[in-house]
Amino acid sequence: MWTHLGERIIGLLSRYNTLFLEGVGMTLLLSALTVAIGVFLGSFLAMMKMSKIYPIRWLANIYIEIIRGTPLLLQLYFFYFVIPEMIKFINFTKFSSVATALALNSAAYVAEIIRSGIQSVEKGQTEAARSLGLTKRQTMLKIVAPQAVKNILPALANEFIMVIKETSLASTFFVGDLMTSFKTIQGITYMSFEPLVIVGAIYLILTYLLSKLVAVYEGRLKASD
């Protein structure tokens, strides 16, 4: 039984290796774009949430609570079906709709990572910098940010790993990710278990390797301290 299963899996890999590789490439591209845009937007959200102006802080809190309080799949459906109907002058493709939903979702979580990273820096250092004549902006860029980055980067790397797994939901819209590869092969071969094993193994390898890289990086950060 196991011999035949192994043969079928190897046969699928050899026959559809290009399709699996394309799925890996699209998954990594979608994940990288999601985290990159998420970091950009999350930085603004973090600043808004730490603002002393109540309406700005309130808007950031509302956005973060809505995104974190609703399922990602619901958000994907919203951006795939509703937003293109509401904003007619923008030509949303399948990929752009899915990428936008994933990025906006990631931004809410990244905002909390950045906020906690900034607030982890001791207030005494900020006060000392201000007493030496540094402006608020200079204090943030030269004192707070370099220290906060050490706490933020490992968490952002873990966010990237989480996003890789979350992109599997994008297969609902057949954007070419790994789970789309599975669905395509399943439709051609009428086989479910074998392609699922292959896709699951690929996800496991990707997340395992990345988690090990994050662990090595965290170890170097601790050693530098």
Q: Rounded to whole angstroms, how far apart are CA atoms 142 and 159?
A: 26
Q: Rounded to whole angstroms, how far apart are CA atoms 176 and 27?
A: 8
With CA atoms as reference, report the closest residue to 12 among 186, 175, 200: 186
Q: Rounded to whole angstroms, how far apart are CA atoms 198 and 185?
A: 11
Angle between helices 145-166 and 94-119 (to 10 degrees): 140
N- to C-terminal Cα separation, the chain: 54
> What is this structure's pTM?
0.87
What sign for the dihedral angle of Cα 169, 174, 175, 176?
positive
The C-alpha angle 113, 103, 137, rounded to 5 degrees, equals 45
pLDDT value for 127? 66
Q: Rounded to whole angstroms, how far apart are CA atoms 37 and 59?
A: 19
Query: CB under 8 Å to 38, separation ≥6 — which residues?
Result: 103, 104, 105, 106, 107, 109, 110, 159, 163
Say which residue, 215 or 53, is predicted with more confidence.
53
Domains of the chain from N-terminus onward: 2-224 (1.10.3720.10)
* Residue range 69-112, pLDDT digits in tens: 999 999 999 999 999 888 878 888 889 999 999 999 999 999 99
* Residue range 202-225, pLDDT digits in tens: 999 999 998 888 888 777 766 666
With CA atoms as reference, report the closest residue to 118 among 42, 222, 214, 217: 42
